[in-house]
Structure 1
């Protein structure tokens, strides 16, 4: 079956949880989380939950796990906590949870970042995607530019396809 056929069979709407990882943002100042929500809604997807958690391993872990165990949520999308500072542990948390990693997400994200935006600083762009508990997880940097790039160029074009692939073995 072709990719085109897969995408035609994919759900038109998926249910999402958005998590912003930040020690400083509130729902009023969270531009990146708001952007994720807007892009998802513009693509006819549903936001089931939205949360801001601190740069704390346990808090991030619990927020992701809660989303993955909620049968109403198909996709968990995170932004923030992906840098190289000691407190940036989002990638490590996601790595500890995913059963299947989608390395192409990070590879394509860094390539696009390099070509379209930040040049060689793309080596600092840590991002990850995978599957845990039959739920897709996408984690991207917290800058609104990075979120816009990841959402528009990678996630929105593939989010329904990824969910279709996860669900096909659950029937």
Structure 2
């Protein structure tokens, strides 16, 4: 089986879920943006919302319907604290889940970054219509790991798969 990829720059939207971050202090979102731009893709939109189910969905739904946005990457709110509702909001929009992303991310987090603390990560990926969605933790270490080893290398192939 060939590993065909989309050969054009992809349009990316970045959502940071945090009660405290601003664009200036959003190290996780800034790291996502750095990786996106370094890979010659474009940032079509970026937002910060509080840890609130409806706020997250209300930001994501228009992005899923925007044909210029191929991929949405959310950071933050993926843990197990009561306020962490990113995964619930994002999964409610999935038409298809991509369980391998979360499984491999947790494995890499365990072996290369945070050890057994990785069991508390609920990182997920899935598809809404023709939009690929990744939800990753907000720490710079987690973002760097996800972006460098999984998202940037696989994004063009996954986008091609969901749009062919």
The reply to whether TM is greater than 0.5 is yes
* Correspondence for 1:66: 62
Unaligned runs of 5+ in 2: none
Q: Residue 29 of structure 2: which of 29, 33, 47 is its match?
A: 33
Deviation at 1:107, TM superposition (A): 0.2
- Residue of structure 2 in register with 1:119 after alignment: 115
Q: What is the deviation of 1:140?
A: 0.1
Question: Which stretches of structure 1, 4 residues or longer, exceed 2 Å deviation after superposition?
Answer: none
Over aligned residue pairs, what C-alpha RMSD do you find?
Answer: 0.8
Q: Deviation of residue 12 (structure 1)?
A: 3.2
Deviation at 1:160, TM superposition (A): 0.6
TM-score (norm 1): 0.94
Residue pair 1:11, 1:163 contacting (<8 A) in 2 also: no
Q: 1:114 deviation in Å?
A: 0.6
- 1:94 Cα offset (Å): 1.1
- The superposition leaves residues 101-147 of structure 1 with CA deviations (integer Å, 9 ceiling, x where unpaired) of 00000000000001001111110111000000210000000111100
* 2:85 paired with 1:89: yes
User: How far is 1:24 from its partner?
Assistant: 0.0
1:131 aligns with 2:130: no
Aligned length: 164
Q: Does 1:105 align with 2:94?
A: no
Can you give the 5+ residue segments of structure 1 that lack an aligned partner in the other structure? none
- The structure 1 residue matched to 2:12, chosen from 5, 9, 16, is 16
**Aligned match of 1:54:** 50
The 1-side partners of 2:134 and 2:145 are apart by: 13
| Correspondence for 2:2 | 2
